[in-house]
Structure 1
Amino acid sequence: MNQTWALTEFSLGASLGEAVLCMQGRHLDQELTRIAQAIVNSPEVRFVPQLTETISAEHELCPVSAEAFYVLSGKKGEYSESDLAKLAILAQLTAKLLAAKAQLDQRFKASAEAQLQQSQILDQIHESVITMDLAGFIISWNRGAENLFGYSASEAIGKNILFLYDEEEVDGLRLFDSFLEDGGREMEVRRRKKSGEVFWASLSLSPLCDSNTQPIGMIGYLSDITERKRAEEQINHLAYYDLLTDLPNRTLFKKLVDKALLQSQRNHSIGSLLFIDLNRFKPINDTLGHAIGDLLLKQVAERFRLALRENDVIARLGSDEFAIGLLDIPQDIHAGLVAQKLLTTLDQAFLVEGHELRIGASIGISIYPQDGMEADQLLQKSDIAMFKAKRNVERASGSYAFYDNEMNRTIAGRLYLESGLRRALQHAEFSLLYQPKVNILTGQMIGVEALLRWNHPKKGMISPAEFIPVAEETGLILQIDAWVLETACEQARQWQAMEIAPFRIAVNVSAKEFTSTLPSRVREALTQFQISPAWIELEITESMLMHSAESVITIMDEIAALGVTLSLDDFGTGYSSLSYLKRFPINTLKIDRSFIQGVPTDNDDCAIAGAIISMAKKLRHKVIAEGVENWEQLSFLKDAGCDEVQGYLFSRPVSSDQITEMLTGGFHFSV
């Protein structure tokens, strides 16, 4: 073949390859026919993909496949051997190209079907499914991802996954590395949509591996959990924050303080806890209602918050109690300065729904690390210190006190007594002794005072002076007073059954018990034990008469109407108005023992005791002096006109059996 033919053959070969790869059907048949005619330079050549006609003996066939042929028309011998050789080579080349194309078509079809199937499956998944290569560049992006993020597949594919992050702190490449090592991971993340909206998503990542199990990328499944996260945050807020003031509650406060104390321990710094109890809040809340009380608490909380630093922690523990953590202070005295600042915020009146309200606070202070290493310990000790501050109020806005160990011992003792008092009521550890009251002229026992005694199972006899104040603070005094009244009435019934003439059993009444319900309770006791009212005398202290005198007189009148006598105890130690004293239905004035101790050597005591006796006589009241311990005191009182005496000169408090012996034996004291 000459050079011209070689070039022509190369050109026709390229055309053949292009035709086979790019054409099909009738167009391919026509192009192959054209190429064959050019090669043999005859219009009598054509490509036949399938023989459908009878080929005569004059035709030459060059097979391409079992069905396809190049056909030369005309008589044999009209074509040279060279033409036939060229046509044979063309047939072989065409056969190879068609076979290669068939294989490519088969592979392409399988790949296309797989890709179509994968795409259809991913698009049917409602979750967002994203695949990435190892560098984080997006390879696929399903319809769920389009709906979730707002980006189409064409917008997302090819970009790095980091463009969806909302300032994530985790380094992307390190994240992928950890996933590849661990084999997958689930987390809750924040992502950004095309609109700019940031949302919470549940993200599950797994590695993509090749046939050799080598990682080639990542596949991520995301679903929107924003509503669930909001619900969780709301529940968490309800669990850790006060609904009224939106301050941390006790649980969160202790967590925050404990966490900060660990830092203080590393820095060797000082911290402090302040326990705050509002003064005079309860009467405001009870009088004006809880709605006003709640608004007042919100204003108090806001004033406290504004007075503190950003890193200080303030919480509402409940009711009218707050706590503040000063978690990094230069020295412990700084806590006192903050307490003064907080009290100063209460100086100005609060305006609540048209009411001008004033309120104070008592603040207890504990110091870290000397008073404790944990929030619970510091809170407990600042609570103890608060009680000291409440007893030592120096100004209207309140007072504060630091915790000390002596205070802890005192409070611990009071708590021990409180728990013991509750047990004593349940286990009958109380008893009554009776101290005789003696007619100063005849020596006859004309009555007794019922005195409470507590026989503790471990500590033995405990003085009333020790446990009565605790009972009054805790409110247990109401149960104790009720027990004393019932026990005295029961004893009176026993003496009444012995046909002993009625005499007065004096029962002390606490300020808490002296309310409008007292007359009905006395009536019920008399009815329950079926005793004459002549058996009972109620001793009330002068301090009870200082407030609401009109209501006090009403209560006293109701008691007197029952036939029960009233005695004014500790007279001279209070501040009762003489204008009211003449209106009180009092039977007896009892001179306090503090005025008897100095008689007759102390001129002031003598003057006071004489004046009380003289005034009582003019008001037509009997007078009894308690604490009489010697004959000189008795002689002075007899000369001054005192009616009755009571004290160790005659008898200590004794049991009911001993009183019974005195009564039945006609015993008289020597006067």
Structure 2
Amino acid sequence: MTKDVTELEMGKKVLLESNKAYEALVQRHIGAVMSIDVSGNILSMNESVNDLLLYKENELKSRSIFNLMEKHTAQDFQLLLNKSLVSHQDQTFSCYVYNRIGEKIFVSIHIMLVAVDINIKRFFITIQNINKSAVENRFALHDELTGLWNQHALLEHMKMLILEAKKANRQFAIYYIDLDRFKYFNDILGKQAGDEILKRTAQRLQRLNLDDFQVYHVNSDRFIIILNGNQDDIEKGAVLISAIFNEPFQIEEEDYIIASSIGISIYPNDGEDEETLIKHADTALSQVKDSGKGHYRFYSSRMDVEFQQYILMGKHLRRAIEKNELMIHYQPQVDLKSGEIESFEALLRWNNPKFGNVSPLKFIPFAEETGLIIPIGEWVIDTVCKKVKEWQERGAVDFRVAINISPKQFKAPYLPKLIHQTLRKYDLPASAIEIEITETMMMDIGNVLNILQELKDLGIKISVDDFGTGYSSLNYIKKFPIDILKIDQSFIRELNISQKDVAITKTIIHLAHHLDLEVIAEGVEEQEQVKLLQSLNCQKAQGYYFSRPVSAEEIEHRYFY
């Protein structure tokens, strides 16, 4: 009996000395070390924990280590603690923990079981920041402008997240977010305003009402969000991300609406590695941008085939001019009082041997993105002027043709000179053509005003397309030398059933009349719409009710000869 008591006392002494040794380790260890009880409550820590997590000891003591982790991570960590208790073996665990300011840090945790006495046990854990030192980590893994994690951090985090998700049989989503027309805003408003939009976007994304997500700024106007959750959580995330762009960005006391396009991929259905998941989210994003922007779409395998077709279509478009595949169709604009036709809109069409008649909604955005719109736009100006001259020589007079100018083409300072030279080339009066710009192009007041004034000095009429859908401002209308407002078809489509559309259309017509501007309604397809426009004193209309866009030969047959 005496021997047993002596051995028990000796065992206690060894355990207590062992505990003191570990306590000394906590304070002297270069890395971050803390001790916790079997329930995860923090008992002590060294100063390196403060360096890593920015907490002081009195802020963490008695708190649970699980509070530093996401719920699913805490559950995994608890299992390892239990395993160590049973096996008396050290355990190693890699996971994300949150520091005091809410940043996620990827760490490696080594778990050691220590017996304080016969009945009391605790864990000593070492925590190592996998991403180098805190300072190096900040500059290497964060975007300087927005303060968000960057592309490098994204790839590092995804590797670890995939391992965690695979182990726990969880799914997560990648949201690839692109700010629509950001480059245009940046060019017009200036880099400082563009940077401010990016910073405010980052702030809005970080405030999303979602659980367990992280935001990354990967380049220019593109952001990525990773969200852990089920299918309902992921769908909700897409809706909430889109919704934050409904509120205008106020820059220099002007409100600007910037929509977002979002492509979404889901682990593991759409890929089991970071490269594939990002690629597929990007593919879904491209589909969104090709189909009108401003919405979200989930990745599906058929998109890969469609994207390959899109790239192939681009190769064909590059040679469309030299192969005579482009053509101009013309849509008449009808005087609603007299029924006469004295103007047309020139609309670009592309007929390719492989793809057939390609929709302008598909190939024009590609041409804009790649810069092909510049030579194509010059070809349009030359072709229209040449055709107008032919018609005049054959006796058709007193009409004009509207030519659409793309945003990228309009930025070219030589545009007025090019148009002037083309008019001289075909010996045409400036009154024979009209230049049509979109409402969004008017934001860059300085440059746009100069170019428009040069065109007006030549005697060319200027029309604003899609009026009422973009950045309508009486200030723009007052300052710019505009001759014609075109009411967007979105207001005309339900004109005979929507009182709101009637009110908007009536207001635009009233505004145009008071400013001595001509007004044209687009997208007219029904007789009821015609009658209502006539009652509102709209001057002209165009649309399928009168005629689809048709070839030059058909125009000649119908209206000229």
Query: Which structure has the greater CA radius of gyration?
Result: 1
Go from structure 1 to structure 2 and tell me whether the alpha carbon gap of 1:530 and 1:376 turns closer, same or farther (over 3 Å shift). farther
- Shift in CA distance, 382/527, structure 1 to aligned 2, threshold 3 Å: same
How far residue 624 of structure 1 moved from its aligned partner, in angstroms, is 2.0
Match of 1:564 among 443, 460, 463: 460
Specify the alignment match of 1:420 in structure 2.
313
Residues of 2 paired with 1:561 and 1:599: CA distance?
A: 37
What is the alpha-carbon distance in structure 2 between the residues aligned to residue 639 and residue 250 of structure 1?
Answer: 58
Aligned to 1:532: 429
1:556–1:275 CA distance, 2 compared to 1 (3 A): same
User: Which one-letter code corresponds to 2:382 in the other structure?
Assistant: E
**Per-residue deviation, 1:566:** 0.8
CA apart distance, 1:657:
1.0
Alpha-carbon distance in structure 2 between the residues aligned to 1:452 and 1:246? 46
Shift of 1:663: 4.2
Segments of structure 1 that go 5 or more residues without pairing to the other structure are 1-243, 297-314, 340-360, 392-399, 666-671
Gaps of 5+ in 2: 1-138, 143-149, 200-215, 239-259
Distance in 1 of aligned mates of 2:226 and 2:527 = 63
Deviation by residue 1:500-539 (Cα, 9 ceiling, x = unmatched) = 3252111122333332523233234334444332221112
- Report matched runs for 1:454-469 at 5 Å: 454-469=350-365
Q: What secondary structure, in the 3-state scheme, does the structure 1 residue paired with 2:513 have?
A: helix
Q: Which deviations, in whole Å up to 9, do the C-alpha atoms of 1:322-365 show, x marking residues without a partner?
A: 99999xx99999999xx9xxxxxxxxxxxxxxxxxxxxx99977
Given that 1:523 and 1:562 are in contact with CA atoms closer than 8 Å, whether structure 2 keeps it comes out as yes
TM-score by length of 2: 0.52
Is 1:609 aligned to 2:508, yes or no? no
Pick aligned residue for 1:541 from 438, 448, 458:
438
- In the alignment, what sits opposite 1:494? 390
Distance 2:224 2:151 in 1: 8
SS at match of 2:479: coil
Q: Return closer, same or farther for 1:372/1:487 CA change in 2, 3 Å cut-off.
A: same
C-alpha contact (below 8 Å) 1:364/1:383 kept by paired residues: yes
Q: Residue 418 of structure 2 aligns with which residue? A: 521
Give the aligned residue type for 1:405. Answer: Y
Q: Is the CA contact 1:424–1:430 (under 8 Å) kept in the aligned structure 2?
A: no
Report deviation, 1:434.
0.7
SS at match of 2:469: coil
Report the CA distance between 1:427 and its aligned residue. 3.0
Q: Give the structure, 1 or 2, with the largest relative contact order (CA under 8 Å, sep 6 or more).
A: 2
Q: Which of the residues 304, 328, 333 maps onto 1:432?
A: 328
Q: Is contact 1:272-1:365 (8 Å) kept?
A: no
User: Does the 8 Å CA contact 1:418/1:470 hold for their aligned counterparts?
Assistant: no
Q: Cα distance 1:496–1:418, how it changes in 2: closer, same or farther (>3 A)?
A: farther
Report the CA distance between 1:443 and its aligned residue: 2.7
In the alignment, the residues of structure 2 paired with residue 657 and residue 523 of structure 1 have an alpha-carbon distance, to the nearest angstrom, of 26
1:381 is displaced (CA, Å) by 1.7
**Aligned counterpart, 1:623:** 519
SS in 2 for 1:647: coil
| 1:377 is aligned to 2:276 | yes
Q: State the 1:600 CA deviation.
A: 5.0
Deviation of 1:573 after TM superposition, in Å, equals 2.7
Alignment RMSD: 5.6
Aligned length: 380
- Corresponding residue number in structure 2 for 1:347: none
- Deviation sequence 1:95-145 (CA, Å, 0-9, x none): xxxxxxxxxxxxxxxxxxxxxxxxxxxxxxxxxxxxxxxxxxxxxxxxxxx
Q: Tell me, yes or no, if the aligned pair for 1:610 and 1:640 is still in contact at 8 Å.
A: yes
The answer to whether the 8 Å contact 1:448/1:505 transfers is: yes
Is 2:299 the counterpart of 1:405? yes
Q: What is residue 491 of structure 2 aligned with on the other side? A: 595
CA change 1:491–1:410 in 2 (3 A) is: farther
TM-score norm. by structure 1 comes to 0.44
Matched, 1:635 2:534: no
Work out whether residues 509 and 538 of structure 2, in 8 Å CA contact, stay in contact via their aligned partners in 1: yes
Answer whether contact 1:591 1:623 (CA < 8 A) is retained. yes
Q: Residues 270, 538 of structure 1: CA spacing in aligned structure 2 closer, same or farther, 3 A cutoff?
A: same
Residues 261 and 288 in structure 2, CA contact (< 8 A), matched pair in contact too: yes
Classify the secondary structure of the residue corresponding to 2:337: coil
The residue aligned with 2:482 is 586
Measure, in 2, the Cα distance between the counterparts of 1:431 and 1:425: 15
Kindly state the Cα deviation for residue 451 of structure 1 after the two structures are TM-superposed: 1.5
Deviations 1:274-294 (A, max 9, x none): 69789779959x948xxx9xx
1:344 — aligned with what?
Answer: none
1:446 CA displacement: 0.2
From the superposition, tell whether residues 488 and 411 of structure 1 become closer, same or farther in structure 2 (CA, over 3 Å): farther
Q: Which moved more, 1:612-621 or 1:524-533?
A: 524-533
- Structure 1 Cα separation of the partners of residues 342 and 433 of structure 2: 12
Deviations 1:235-287 (A, max 9, x none): xxxxxxxxx9599x999x9999999999999x797798969789779959x94
**2: distance between equivalents of 1:322 and 1:586?**
38
Q: Could you give the per-residue CA deviations for residues 368-399 of structure 1, whole angstroms, max 9, x where no partner exists?
A: 543235565334224336669999xxxxxxxx
| Distance change >3 Å, CA 526–CA 415, structure 1 → 2 | farther
The one-letter amino acid of 1:440's match is L
The yes-or-no answer on 1:481 pairing with 2:377 is yes
Given the alignment, which residue of 443, 457, 480 partners 2:339? 443
Q: Please list, as runs of the form range in 1=range in 2, the aligned pairs for 1:23-422 lying within 5 A after superposition.
A: 287=191, 366=265, 369-373=268-272, 376-384=275-283, 404-406=298-300, 409=302, 413=306, 416-422=309-315
- SS of the residue corresponding to residue 567 of structure 1 reads strand
Task: Please give the alpha-carbon distance, in whole angstroms, between the structure 2 residues aligned to 1:389 and 1:435.
Answer: 29
In 2, the alpha carbon distance for the partners of 1:605 and 1:333 equals 35
Deviations 1:27-62 (A, max 9, x none): xxxxxxxxxxxxxxxxxxxxxxxxxxxxxxxxxxxx
In structure 2, give the amino acid aligned to 1:413.
E
Query: How far, CA to CA, are the matches of 1:655 and 1:588 in structure 2?
Result: 24
Map Cα deviations across residues 133-188 of structure 1 (whole Å, 9 max, x no partner): xxxxxxxxxxxxxxxxxxxxxxxxxxxxxxxxxxxxxxxxxxxxxxxxxxxxxxxx
**Inter-CA distance 524–367: structure 2 relative to 1 (3 Å threshold):** same
Measured after TM superposition, the shift of residue 488 of structure 1 is 1.5
**Are the equivalent residues in 2 in contact too, given 1:272–1:367 (CA < 8 A)?**
yes
Tell me the percent identity. 37
